[in-house]
Amino acid sequence: MINFRTDLADERRDIYKKANNIEGEINGIETEEETIDDKIKIMRVKVLNNEAEQAIGKPKGNYITIDIKKINIITEEEMEKAAEVLSKEIKKLVENKIQSKEDILVVGLGNSDVTPDALGPNVVKNLEITRHIINYLPQYIDENARPVSAIAPGVLGTTGIETVEIIKGVVDNIKPKLLIVIDALASRSIERISSTIQIADTGIAPGAGVGNNRKEITQNSLGLPVISIRNTYGC
């Protein structure tokens, strides 16, 4: 079995093809590459069947990888464009899963005290949370606003509780229609640190990219669609 040591579907695909001397595409995988400009590129990988799932070790579904070149020196305008590209891709996945005003729960995975693992909690701190305003002060918010709530459940090492168990307790109580999970991402390339984002509609198995598998956060385990947004985060 191939030791991928990466969470990125496009890297796993490339590794499998190289290891098996495959010239064309892997059976059961569809890919589409889109160049936005000289700084931003999108690679879409679709895993269609069990054979492809076993080949690259990723569940059937859609994986969208956004690469932003030289993110440390891009201009504010270029950063805004990258954010628009990311927003557009997330919106398409969300609209395929739920209706326009249905509830979303955002979960920021990771340890806020460890910089390479703090992406999830940091994103949650900066989200615009609307569920409580819609419930208690609807006159102060746009009538088209979607209810959004968020948690940063910490990590097993500090809570003693599997993350999926905490999430399930919240899901069972507030009953969102969709879960969005934010987490750091393992890549084989140091050049991709902070500059690559992968969005997927298959959920997440925390720690899988570095061989430290935790219980999966998926539709099977929670009973609702799960979208993951992950960045190659680091110091």
Query: What domains lie within the chain, and their CATH numbers?
Result: 9-231 (3.40.50.1450)
Q: Count how many residues are written for the chain.
A: 235
CA distance 227 to 131: 19
Cα–Cα distance, 104 to 9 (Å, whole number): 25
Report d(CA 2, CA 57) in Å as an integer.
Answer: 9
Mean pLDDT, contiguous 10-residue spans, the chain (235 residues): 81 94 95 94 97 94 94 87 95 94 96 90 95 94 94 92 95 98 88 90 72 78 96 68
Helix (H, G, I), strand (E, B) or coil at 39: coil
Phi–psi pair at 134, nearest 5 degrees: -60, -40
Q: What is the pLDDT of residue 209?
A: 47
Look up residue 226 and give its two tokens.
């799960």
Under 8 Å CB-to-CB from 41, ≥6 apart: which residues?
A: 33, 34, 35, 66, 67, 69
Instruction: State pLDDT tens for residues 142-184.
Output: 999 999 999 999 998 899 999 999 999 999 999 999 999 999 9
139 secondary structure, DSSP code = G
